[in-house]
């Protein structure tokens, strides 16, 4: 075996051990996971490598799920989303923080004639939050059909509880193969993919805008590792760029305590 294939073998072994271990941690009952956040326990337990994932907070029942009875938590490993197509730019599923979504959408002014689209919607947490706003429609797309099913079960829960809100709907689709709905769009993203695919997504949006099928669009991008892609577009201008703190009640339910949030809109 040469050094490259030894490296590849090690990576495969690591992956095959890592996710079953994470699944075992994920199946710890919620009160046990919450107990692990007690400062006196956390101090020691977070030094245990496999327990580190607990401290992402993603496996605790998120306050929005506790409040609504939805399921938007957990981490979905890249293998369960991309199968054999996993590479270095394949990111896992994890949900965004509602307070950050509310903060971002509040920057955009009147949303009544806009469609909210989550590119890589996963279990649909941002769509749930978007239904709090007066969007014309709220939709999301994800590669992973099993996450889309969960998002649509969440949609049914939200629709029963808030019949006055615009319904949300998720579709199993590759976001790079979409035909965008006409009108004004708010395109939301939290780490769906890397720069190469991001450039393709922007090219698709720009073509739809230039052909007139999209009237205007904003890009709301959390953890904007590919911000340069949007900064280099002659059609867009940055409207907001800030590191936004999680709401206090969300601290301990996500990997950080704050997140970079960038927004671009089409120039007028
Ligand atoms: C970090 S998660 C974000 C989930 C959700 N947007 C949120 O903020 O709570 C990224 C999601 O992007 C999805 N994804 C990655 N590539 C995609 C593609 N080409 N088309 C559609 N979804 C994709 C993944 O399946 C994953 O669920």
Contacts of 237 (CB under 8 A, 6+ apart): 264, 265, 267
Cα 153 from chain centroid (whole Å): 17
Domain assignment present for residue 154? The answer is yes
Q: Is the pTM of this model over 0.85?
A: yes
- Assess if residue 91 is contained within a domain: no
Tell me which residue of 180, 182, 173, 228 sits closest to 205, measured CA to CA: 180
156's tokens: 């049914």
How many structural domains compose the chain?
Answer: 2
Which is the closest atom of ligand 1 to the Cα of 147?
A: 27
Asked whether residue 81 is assigned to any structural domain, the reply reads no
| CA 124–ligand 1 middle distance (angstroms) | 10
Q: What is the pLDDT of residue 48?
A: 77
Task: Tell which of 38, 56, 74 closes a domain.
Answer: 56
Report the SS3 class of residue 103: helix
pLDDT of residue 37: 76
Q: Do 32 and 102 reside in the same domain of the chain?
A: no
pLDDT at 205: 98
- What per-residue confidence (pLDDT) applies to 192? 95
What is the model's pLDDT at position 155?
A: 98
Are 123 and 176 in the same domain? yes
Residue 120 lies in a domain: yes
Domain assignment of residue 79, yes or no: no
Ligand 1 centroid to Cα of residue 91, in Å, is 8
Q: Which one-letter DSSP state was computed for residue 95?
A: P
Are 170 and 227 in a shared domain? yes
Residue 3's Cα: distance from chain center in Å?
Answer: 36
3-state secondary structure of 159: helix
| One domain for residues 19 and 152 | no
Q: Is residue 2 part of a domain?
A: yes
Asked if 35 and 115 sit in the same domain, the reply is: no
Strand order in the sheet with 168-172: 168-172, 137-142, 114-119, 183-190, 214-222, 258-266, 236-245
Rama region for 88: left / alpha / beta (φ>0; ψ in -120 to 50; rest): alpha
Are residues 115 and 48 part of one domain?
Answer: no
Q: Which residue has the least CA distance to atom 1 on ligand 1?
A: 93
Residues 132 and 6 grouped into a single domain:
no
175 & 51 share domain: no
For residue 48, the enclosing domain spans: 1-56
CATH number of the domain residue 191 falls in: 3.40.50.150
E-state strands within the chain: 114-119, 137-142, 168-172, 183-190, 214-222, 236-245, 258-266
The rounded Å distance from CA 39 to ligand 1 centre is 32
What pLDDT, on a 0 to 100 scale, did the predictor assign at position 90? Answer: 81
Q: Are residues 172 and 114 both part of a single domain? A: yes
CA–centroid distance, residue 190 to ligand 1 (Å): 7
Three-state DSSP class for residue 8 = helix
Report how far apart, in Å, the C-alpha atoms of 235 and of each of 54, 133, 186 are: 42, 26, 15
Q: Are residues 255 and 147 in the same domain?
A: yes
Nearest residue (by CA) to ligand 1, atom 23, is 120
Mean pLDDT by 10 residues, the chain (268 residues): 62 67 77 80 77 77 96 87 80 94 98 97 98 98 96 98 98 96 97 95 98 97 97 98 97 92 96
If DSSP states are collapsed to H, E and C, what string results for 225-268?
A: CCHHHHHCCCCEEEEEEEEEECCHHHCCCCCCCEEEEEEEEECC
Phi, psi angle pair for 142, to nearest 5°: -145, 150
Q: Answer yes or no: do 169 and 260 share one domain.
A: yes
Question: Is residue 229 within 8 Å of residue 192, measured between CB atoms?
Answer: no
Phi, psi (deg, nearest 5) at residue 263: -135, 135
Take atom 12 of ligand 1 and give the residue whose Cα is closest. Answer: 120
- Going by the DSSP 8-state scheme, the letter that residue 76 receives in this structure is B
Q: Mark whether 113 and 25 lie in a shared domain.
A: no
Q: Give the pLDDT score at 2.
A: 62
47-52's contacts with Cβ under 8 Å and 24+ in sequence apart are 50/21, 50/22, 50/25, 51/25
Residue 209 is assigned to a structural domain of this protein: yes
Q: How far apart, in Å, are the Cα atoms of 238 and each of 143, 200, 231, 241, 263?
A: 28, 19, 7, 7, 6
> For residue 61, is it within any domain?
no
Which residues surround ligand 1 with Cβ inside 6 Å?
81, 91, 93-96, 118, 120-122, 125-126, 141-144, 147, 174-176, 190-193
């Amino acid at each position: 075996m040469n050094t490259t294939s030894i490296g590849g073998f090690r990576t495969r072994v690591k992956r095959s051990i890592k996710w079953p271990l994470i699944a075992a941690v994920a199946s710890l009952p919620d009160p046990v996971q919450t107990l692990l956040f007690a400062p006196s326990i956390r101090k020691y337990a977070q030094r245990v490598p496999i327990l580190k994932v607990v401290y992402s907070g993603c496996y605790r029942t998120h306050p929005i799920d506790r409040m609504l009875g939805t399921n938007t938590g957990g981490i979905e490993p890249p293998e369960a989303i991309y199968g054999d197509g996993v590479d270095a730019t394949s990111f896992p599923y994890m949900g965004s923080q509602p307070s950050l979504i509310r903060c971002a959408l509040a920057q955009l002014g009147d949303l009544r004639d806009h469609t909210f689209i989550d590119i890589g919607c996963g279990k649909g947490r941002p769509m749930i939050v978007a239904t709090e706003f007066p969007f014309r429609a709220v939709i999301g797309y994800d590669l992973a059909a099993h996450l889309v099913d969960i998002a649509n079960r969440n949609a049914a829960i939200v629709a029963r509880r808030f019949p006055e809100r615009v319904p949300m709907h998720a579709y199993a689709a590759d976001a790079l193969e979409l035909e965008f709905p006409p009108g004004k769009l708010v395109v939301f993203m939290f780490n769906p993919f890397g720069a190469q695919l991001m450039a393709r997504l922007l090219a698709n949006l720009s073509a739809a805008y230039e052909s007139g099928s999209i009237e205007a669009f904003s890009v709301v991008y959390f953890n904007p590792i590919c911000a340069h892609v949007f900064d280099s577009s002659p059609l867009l201008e940055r409207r907001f760029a800030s590191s936004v703190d999680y709401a206090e009640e969300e601290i301990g339910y996500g990997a950080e305590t704050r997140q970079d949030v960038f927004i671009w809109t089409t120039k007028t």
